[in-house]
Amino acid sequence: MEGWLEDKFSCALCEIGEIEGLRETILYYLIIIGIITVPFFGVLRNYFMGKGIIAFAAFFSEFILALSFLFFSKQKIAISKLLFLTSIALMLVSLIFQDIKFMYMWFALFPALAFILLPAETALVLSAIFGFLVFFFDIVYHPKVVEVYFLQELAVFYLFMIAGGFLYAKVLERQEILLGWLVSEDSLTGVMTRKRFLEFFDIELLKAKRYQIPLSVIIFDIDRFREFNKTHGSDAGNRILKEMVEAIEKNTRKADVTVRWGGDEFIVYLPFTDLKGAWSAAIKIKDDIDKIVKANHATELSISMGLVQLNDDESKDEFLKRLEEALYVAKNKGGDVIETVQGGKYGKRIYVDRWRESL
């Protein structure tokens, strides 16, 4: 339950993608700038100018900023964001208790930073909560001098800031979705690209290890495909690649993912699948691809396959290295075989040629 709550909290404050990487970079520099400037411009300047409440709030904000930096360095980005925005909110709310109304324009800083650092919906909620608190504290702290027109103008200005920030954040997120779609799909075959798969696999790997989900991957390469292209032309080669992808899709589930790994190399990602299930899928795929090769009178072509199941103690790099090694073993045996490499740590390897055995 605790882990689930932590995941939900992180998802609300952070996303996965290039925009989140940009947000983290901005957060880092904002924290550094805050840590450097707040002691001078927030604490000392206001203390010597007689603004004790603001100086006191800035002092505590500096402490919160230090905590934000600490969590950032430990890669607890969601907590770091929340602490950073809390430090900003504390300094801004102190303006009410110091009774400096001409500086209320600074309240717009909170939604501006929130929409830069957070997903649009989360930033909208936090900005609305902050706005409510500002007006609540102002009315409670100054019950006899409520300036209706001033508060009305402030509310309109604040709402425009929220609307503008929300629009900016949604446009930015939509642009990332569009760009992500453009770079995530192979233009020839329509399957996932290697770059997109590596991002996707990071998440899947964490889930597989956390929830003990079996996970296997098949990699295959077309033997002598380069020579075939030189002899018959790239159009013939492209047609075979497309038909191969169709054969893969026919023999896999909706949850499985096909990836163009590079050139004539493909990967089939099989979640909830152990090694035995991966062997079964690989043999079905190979059978259908062999039929495609014969139908296209491309008898010089064959398929070399490697497959592995994720070990509990493996990193992503170790797993992919073992996958590539399985393919290398298959190619080294002359091709037209399916290989696996079992064992993962300390260089220990057991090579299994089940395809030849099945014949």
pLDDT in tens, 85-100: 999 999 999 988 887 7
Does residue 305 contact residue 324 with C-beta atoms inside 8 Å?
Answer: no
DSSP-assigned beta bridge partners for residue 222: 303
pLDDT in tens, 101-145: 777 778 888 988 888 888 888 888 998 899 888 888 887 877 665
Does residue 135 contact residue 153 with C-beta atoms inside 8 Å?
Answer: no
Does residue 256 contact residue 267 with C-beta atoms inside 8 Å?
Answer: no
Residue 214 has pLDDT above 80, yes or no: yes
DSSP state at residue 189: T
User: What pTM, to 2 d.p., does this model score?
Assistant: 0.51
- Report the pLDDT averaged over residues 190-210: 86
Helix axes 109-117, 18-37, angle to 10 degrees: 140
How sure is the predictor about 199, in pLDDT bands with cuts at 50, 70 and 90?
confident
Q: In percent, how much of the chain has pLDDT > 70?
A: 83
Lowest mean pLDDT among 45-54, 167-176, 348-357: 348-357
Instruction: Tell me the chain's radius of gyration from C-alpha atoms.
Output: 29
Question: Which position has the higher pLDDT, 196 or 269?
Answer: 269
pLDDT for 108: 85
pLDDT for 97: 86
- Domains of the chain listed by start with CATH number: 2-184 (no CATH), 192-358 (3.30.70.270)
pLDDT for 8: 43
